[in-house]
Structure 1
Amino acid sequence: MKMNPLGRTGIEVSELCLGTMTFGTQTPEAEAHAQIAMALAAGVNFVDTAEMYPVNPVSAETIGNSERIIGSWNAKTGRRGDYILATKHSGEGMKHARDGAPISSKTIAAAVEGSLKRLQTDYIDLYQFHWPNRGSYMFRQNWTYDPSSQNREEVLANMEDCLEALQREVERGTIRAFGLSNESAWGTAQWLRIAGERGWPRVATIQNEYSLLCRMYDTDLAELSVNEDVGLMAFSPLGTGLLTGKYQDGAVPEGSRKSINPELGGRHSPRVYEAVAAYLEIARRHGLDPVHMALAWCRTRPFMASAIFGATRLPQLEHLLKSVEAELSQEVLDEINAAHRAHPMPY
Structure 2
Amino acid sequence: MKYTHLPHTDIEVSKICLGTMTWGNQNTEEEGHEQMDYAVDQGINFFDTAELYPIPAHPDRHSLTEKIIGTWFKKNGNRDKIVLASKIVGRAEMSKFIRTTGFSRESIIEAVEGSLKRLNTDYIDVYQLHWPERNTNYFGKRGYAHDISDHWEDNIHQVLETLRDLIREGKIRHVGISNETPWGTMRFLEESKVHATLPRAITIQNPYNLLNRLFEVGLSEISMREQIGLLAYSPLGFGVLSGKYLGGRSPEGSRITLFPNYKRYSSKTAIEATQKYYELAMANDLSLAQMALAFVNSRPFLTSNIIGATSIKQLKENIESIDVTLSDEVLKGIEEIHNQHPNPAP
TM-score tier (shorter): over 0.9
2:46 equivalent to 1:43: no
Q: State the one-letter code of the partner of 1:240.
A: F
Q: State the one-letter code of the partner of 1:70.
A: I
Contact 2:240/2:266 (CA < 8 Å) preserved in 1? no
Aligned twin of 1:267: 265
In 1: Cα distance, 2:178 partner to 2:146 partner:
17
Q: State the one-letter code of the partner of 2:317.
A: H
Q: Which runs of 5+ in 2 are unaligned?
A: none
Contact 2:33/2:72 (CA < 8 Å) preserved in 1? yes
Aligned twin of 2:336: 338
Shift of 1:268: 2.0
Q: Which moved more, 1:263-272 or 1:123-132?
A: 263-272
Aligned twin of 1:285: 283
Aligned twin of 1:146: 145
Q: State the one-letter code of the partner of 1:96.
A: F
1:153-210 deviation line (CA, Å, top 9, x unaligned): x543x11111000011000000011000000111110101111222211011000010
Q: Secondary structure at the match of 2:221?
A: helix
Shift of 1:219: 2.4
Q: Secondary structure at the match of 1:149?
A: coil
Aligned twin of 2:19: 19
Aligned twin of 1:184: 181
In 2: Cα distance, 1:135 partner to 1:240 partner:
24
1:261-285 deviation line (CA, Å, top 9, x unaligned): 2142433211111000010011011
Aligned twin of 2:168: 171
In 1: Cα distance, 2:150 partner to 2:242 partner:
42
Contact 1:7/1:203 (CA < 8 Å) preserved in 2? no
2:184 equivalent to 1:159: no
Q: Secondary structure at the match of 1:176?
A: strand
1:14-53 deviation line (CA, Å, top 9, x unaligned): 1110000000000101110010011111011110000000
Aligned pairs (5 A) from 1:185-264: 185-198=182-195, 199-264=197-262
Q: State the one-letter code of the partner of 1:124.
A: I
Give TM-score scaled by structure 1 length. Answer: 0.96
Aligned twin of 2:120: 120
In 2: Cα distance, 1:271 partner to 1:34 partner:
37
Shift of 1:148: 5.1
Q: Secondary structure at the match of 2:85?
A: strand
Contact 1:246/1:253 (CA < 8 Å) preserved in 2? yes
Aligned twin of 1:96: 97
Cα RMSD after superposing both structures = 1.4
Shift of 1:151: 7.3
In 1: Cα distance, 2:198 partner to 2:156 partner:
11
Contact 1:275/1:339 (CA < 8 Å) preserved in 2? yes
Shift of 1:11: 1.5
Alpha-carbon spacing, 1:124–1:260, altered in 2? closer, same or farther (3 Å): same
Shift of 1:106: 2.0
Aligned twin of 1:320: 318
Contact 1:136/1:182 (CA < 8 Å) preserved in 2? no
Percent of aligned pairs sharing the same letter? 44
Alpha-carbon spacing, 1:90–1:120, altered in 2? closer, same or farther (3 Å): same
Aligned twin of 1:64: 63
The answer to which structure has the higher helix fraction is: 1
Give TM-score scaled by structure 2 length. Answer: 0.96
In 2: Cα distance, 1:44 partner to 1:265 partner:
30
Q: Which runs of 5+ in 1 are unaligned?
A: none
Aligned twin of 2:131: 131
1:192-232 deviation line (CA, Å, top 9, x unaligned): 11112222110110000100000000121000000011010
Shift of 1:150: 8.0
Contact 2:211/2:265 (CA < 8 Å) preserved in 1? no
How many residue pairs match? The answer is: 342
Shift of 1:138: 4.2
In 2: Cα distance, 1:12 partner to 1:136 partner:
32
In 1: Cα distance, 2:214 partner to 2:74 partner:
39
Q: State the one-letter code of the partner of 2:182.
A: A
Shift of 1:130: 0.2
Contact 1:177/1:204 (CA < 8 Å) preserved in 2? yes
